[in-house]
Structure 1
């Protein structure tokens, strides 16, 4: 008797949700690809800068007050001691980097 009843199949919840799931997967994949592309580009720039000796390397930092600090950095074959506040940056000292410190 059931075989003679007219049946109409309606799309189930998975059939109707499949296009939206695929769309979200596509968006997530595109976002992941964009993130990877940006990270790969920044890594390449860092490698290029460090190969030229042009990369700025922070050697040490010390907070003096909540709005003032000093930083020791190495750049272009020299070391700099910088005093930083919320309003300005002052060069306190600079010296050439010796060959043994570069390695």
Structure 2
């Protein structure tokens, strides 16, 4: 049911890890860019209406962006926590 990949040669494993990390960081940058664009639009709309409601979506989405950033920048693929979770999943799949 599950395909467990064969271990890659050291150079290939390093390349795969580098691509995964770069992809995660690019995903966060895109998330931040969309956040900035949408929140700017909502803020302008909120100010045009003479109200301050834009703070609520900015705070909620900002918290999500912060959590996403922490996951990308502090717990990178290949980090010790990530590596331990990956090893647990491999062991669980091999037991099946």
**Greater share of helix residues, 1 or 2?**
2
Q: Structure 2 length as normaliser, TM-score?
A: 0.39
* TM-score with structure 1 setting the length: 0.37
Larger strand share, 1 or 2: 1
Name the larger-Rg structure. 1
